[in-house]
Structure 1
Amino acid sequence: MTVQDYIELVNEAYKERGGIAGQREPLKTTSAKRIRKRMVEDLLAGAVLPPVVIGKVVDDLASLDTAGALMTAISDEDKGKLSIIDGMQRTTALLEAFAESEQVIKHRLLRVEFWIAEETESLIYRMLVLNTGQVPWNLSRQLQVVYAPLVAEMKEKITFDRVLEIQGSNPERRTKAGQYRPDDLAELFIAFGLRKTDVDTKETLADEFSRLDMAEALSSHLYREFFYPTVQMMVDLDGAISRLDDQLIQPNGDDETDGKKLVGRNVFDSKPARIGFVVAVAIAVMGRIGMEKDKDQHAMEQRIKAIEDGLTQLTDKLGRMDAEGMNDFLRLGVLQQQLYGTKRSAVGRYERAFFENAFKILIEESFDIPTLETCWRG
């Protein structure tokens, strides 16, 4: 398409940093400005850029059987829903060249690739497979490129209180149950696929095993079937144990510990708790990587249904409790002592393993426990 048509197509997505939460903004370092200035000069002189890549999720892929139908699908709705998957800096250079000399460049042809899918997971799968071997891409970066549509899909399938806005000068903070940052939701996506809490999102994707594990899970649709229900259960449990926060006065457990006293919301304020819950459910349903349980889909569905039923019974039980009953059941003072009563090295790793084990006990006991002290001291 012409440069003018491309700019009109992606302008809204560009203003939203590529239509991708976490996508790099136009680079502003001195060296980046010098490189982009040279790129603009080259464009005006007739240089051809490598293709830019645009991502789009559609409802009916089969209907896009002609180029015209494709362009209609891309153009007939909010263009802000497009994602600039690859080419943010090139788009910046094109905009600068367009502003500097519109008549010279607007009719130039630019190659644009469209990656179209009916499901967000298919786009993620393509990113994981097609970027194999590229460094310094890491797991976090891979997901940043596509997690805006992932989070949009999660909003449709999961009942959050809200997904927090983290862009801009005043990022929102979690103030009640059911509120989460989009990048934290993306990290849950990683942990669920790898089925381990010790996920270093800074590690490069030279770890091919992690790449393959996620690609296999995506291609077998395990995410669509089990990831969203797992996160919904986490949200439900978060809400249930936070219900009476305004009335709760926590005992500190067996001994006094330093620091503030926990309230119910604080449990899932913690990233280790969120990851621990998701990983515990993933392992209970699918088994650990390399020693998977029965891969029969029906058997997995039965296992997650049993977990959902157990959690529903627990949340109903919590819903009938008064403040004193909630206090006694949650035993947040014991949790606080277990987590913060002793100084440790590698605190984050310890907390993730702690919560995975705690929720593993909860699942193994079918959520039928006298108090959560059973989990906190397990």
Structure 2
Amino acid sequence: MDLIHDRRTDCYSALGKMTTGDYLSLVRGAHAQRGGITGQREVLKTTTAKRIRDRMISDIRAGAVLPPVVIGVIVDQSVVDDISSGALSDISLFLGAVSRHELTIIDGMQRTAALIDACEIDVSIASREMRVEFWVARSVRSLVYRMLVLNTGQVPWTLARQLSVVYAPLLEEIKNNVTGIDRIFSPDKPGRRVASAQFSSDALVELYLAFSLRKTNVDTKETLSEEFSRLDFVDNLADTGFQDHFYSALSMLVELDKAFDRYDNGNSGRFSRGKEVFGSQPARIGFMVAIAQYVLGRPGLDREIDERSTRMDTVVKHASAMVIKLNGLDPVGVGGFLRLDVLSEILDKKVGQVGRYERSVFVEAFKVLIEDAFEIPNMEPCWRAS
């Protein structure tokens, strides 16, 4: 393997040769899952795309060498140590180490589809050599940064589509870094929220986007040609503490969600129980954006890295004190604090673009909570802030 350390993102670029058959065995599962995650761009099925793929298949059969396919993999520290020491310079040893982890196809879905089809037509192609580049990282932050900055991309990709490439590793990091999450639903493991600390995978990815962009109205169809959004995202990823800030904010949300869940008045209605506050995606996004703007700064007005860490420590301290206070109340006391009747009345207004309105209500509410250091008698002044 030809190994180069990317010191900017602390990734390793490993370029090697392997047989087409070994490559397809390695990534067949990831390819079947559209790159290894839900939401990745599928093999294109338009008439022109099929014609191009047919041309690629005929070129492969004629002996063409394709550009390297790029595979992303998040590994633990022991694998990184073995790579840096040179212990995995042999391709077979390298593959043995990384194949135990979840692989994602960053660049090469169409080429992989063409290789599969070509091998079905001519089995001898499986024994031919091809080039594969692995990007090996310890953090999903590094892999996302690498893609957004260094990938050229054949077509404009949305931010959500870029993130979808590292969808599974991001969710795995959330599980490892955010204590208290009970369940994460996904298209492969569907379910519905029946208690606090349960979230859909799509909702968590949207929270990641909202936190980085510091905007409540995240257009997941927004393309990377929207340079301001792309630059905001990249600038935040350039801060090595950004990922930890996101996990801290999400941990606060989970703890408050559990504290709110202790209230249940037994009635029907949208906000009759405490768990329904953060059962609402607008509320979750409002909370994450309010924290992001306080900690990271407003879009276009970024805070210094040291100030970000200080502000996050302050918010965590104040939020933790509020959680302790709520957990010391009985369920009726939690209900009195939440004042969900006021929230219901405010959200019952007949307005256009309900989702946009609700997100604005919640972000303003949680800005008040943060500005008042989480020291409020109840949530009414928050709900009425908008």
Q: TM-score, normalised by structure 1?
A: 0.87
Secondary structure of the residue aligned to 1:55 is: strand
2:351 is aligned to: 344
Aligned residue pairs: how many?
363
2:76 is aligned to: 59
2:158 is aligned to: 138
Which ranges in structure 2 are unaligned for 5 or more consecutive residues?
Answer: 1-17
Q: How is 1:260-275 mapped onto 2 (pairs within 5 angstroms)?
A: 260-275=270-285
Shift of 1:90: 2.1
Shift of 1:203: 1.3
Match status 1:147 vs 2:167: yes
Shift of 1:244: 3.4
The question of whether the paired residues in 1 share the 8 Å contact of 2:74 and 2:138 is answered with: yes
Shift of 1:141: 0.9
CA RMSD of aligned residues (A): 2.4
**Counterpart among 119, 123, 127 of residue 102 in structure 1:** 123
Structure number with the higher strand fraction is 2
**Counterpart among 241, 261, 265 of residue 222 in structure 1:** 241
- Aligned equivalents of 2:335, 2:110: Cα separation in 1: 53
Match status 1:316 vs 2:324: yes
Secondary structure of the residue aligned to 2:160 is: helix
2:60 is aligned to: 43
Match status 1:126 vs 2:133: no
Match status 1:92 vs 2:100: no
- Aligned equivalents of 1:289, 1:222: Cα separation in 2: 17
Deviations 1:299-353 (A, max 9, x none): 43332222112212221222222232222211112111111x2211122222112
2:315 is aligned to: 307
**Counterpart among 163, 172, 179 of residue 184 in structure 2:** 163
Q: 1:102 to 1:213 in 2, by over 3 A?
A: same
Q: 1:301 to 1:189 in 2, by over 3 A?
A: same
**Residue identity matched to 2:126:** K
Match status 1:178 vs 2:186: no
The question of whether the paired residues in 2 share the 8 Å contact of 1:18 and 1:83 is answered with: yes
Secondary structure of the residue aligned to 2:277 is: helix
Which range moved further: 282-291 or 207-216?
Answer: 282-291
The question of whether the paired residues in 1 share the 8 Å contact of 2:75 and 2:101 is answered with: no
**Counterpart among 346, 362, 371 of residue 369 in structure 2:** 362
1:4 is aligned to: 21
- Aligned equivalents of 2:229, 2:277: Cα separation in 1: 28
Give % identity: 49
The question of whether the paired residues in 2 share the 8 Å contact of 1:55 and 1:114 is answered with: yes
Secondary structure of the residue aligned to 1:243 is: coil
Which ranges in structure 1 are unaligned for 5 or more consecutive residues?
Answer: 251-258
Q: 1:243 to 1:78 in 2, by over 3 A?
A: farther
**Counterpart among 18, 38, 41 of residue 24 in structure 1:** 41
**Residue identity matched to 2:131:** R
**Counterpart among 262, 270, 289 of residue 299 in structure 2:** 289
Secondary structure of the residue aligned to 2:362 is: helix
1:198 is aligned to: 217
Q: 1:266 to 1:370 in 2, by over 3 A?
A: same
